[in-house]
Amino acid sequence: MISKRGMRLEDFTYVPVLRFREQERKALKSVNMSNKMVPLIEMVSEKPRSNSKEDSIQHLINETDGMEQIFIDIPIYLSVKRNTKESTIDFINRMKSDVNQRIGYYLDDRLVGEDRFIPVISYDPAIPFNETSLKQLEFSLRERYGRLGFRIYPTYFQEAFTSIKDLLQKQDFLFFDVGEGNHNTQNKRFHESLVKLASTKDATSIIIRSAVPKELTYTGLTNNEVVGSIDNSLLKDYTHFGYDAFGDYAGVKKDDITEGGRISPGYFLFSGEYNLFYGFKGEFNRPATFTSLLVPEIMDSKVWKTLSKNHKENCYGCRSIIEISENQRSGNAQSEWKGYTMAHYLYTLEEFL
């Protein structure tokens, strides 16, 4: 299958799942993605910032100009908490409350007119499965989009699968999002059904897993040592189960989009050669140690020394660390280090996939 822009969609093997927030956007823009990658963008607010003149849809269109295909989802699975960002609370609650809000968002003429955005229909696994809403979404979007994605979770799997098997069409995309679950054991029983359905319908099957556990903290890391609790084996295993592609959260946690909390300097450096993450940490609640401790530890590490000169010069994450070491860039903002992690991970996968 070839898109109108010329990309062979069956060539992609990796789907980075990125919330449409500042650091994720920077990381996404920094990588010249080949046809090996198709990002899944989760829209989490009406505007990227409260003072933005343009809404998130327009920013998405502008910032992804040149990308052949992009999946978009409205993550109604998000759990809204007291410290969730207000802009996210307003947006997600509105989308959760009425399926017509989601339909209207996806049918924005700017998205439809681009011919490169593929809506992903998902549900909230925290509440009873609503077959009517899912079918209403599919019916409304099918008229305007040539291809759709469907995202299934282990929770309410059978109910969702039963509904989707009659809706899935040729050239659609079927996602299985296992969260932090172990894809080898507890979710193994679902793989055969999903892969078989996708194959029968001539659709594409993708398995998504969050490799970085939410409970993992930087304070528990040992500098320049493998982070054993990060299991990135899906990168190799997805083909064993028959999936066409795999996805993850680009080397960071699948967080709850919350505000506040104290600063804990830390960094995960991915090794594409060994498919492992190495940890580095500063001192808790001392942001200056991003620069004084983290940077020299990273640049003196065995993983850093294996990176090519070309990688360090062209990877936004690695180049930023070098600039911090040379006092050309401020290095004490925790949020920016998340962006460096993601940018390096994405750049590295472009090299190794």
Q: What is the mean pLDDT of each run of 10 residues along the chain (353 residues)?
A: 45 96 95 94 94 95 94 95 90 96 98 95 97 98 96 97 97 96 79 96 97 93 96 95 97 85 92 97 96 97 96 98 97 95 98 93
CATH of 9-216+223-255, one of 1.20.1540, 3.20.20, 1.10.490, 3.30.420: 3.20.20
Opening angle at CA 319, ends 41 and 67, nearest 5: 30
DSSP 120: E
Quick one: pLDDT at residue 280? 97
pLDDT at 10 (0 to 100): 58
pLDDT of res. 261:
76
Residue corresponding to tokens 């064993």: 240
* Sequence-distant (≥ 6) Cβ neighbours of residue 227 within 8 angstroms: 216, 221, 268, 276, 277, 278, 279
Residue 344 has, within 13 A of its CA and on its CB side, a CA count of 29
- The domains of the chain are located at 9-216+223-255
- The pLDDT score that the predictor gives to residue 9 is 56
Read off φ and ψ for residue 25, nearest 5 degrees: -65, -40
Handedness of CA 58, 62, 63, 67 (dihedral sign): positive
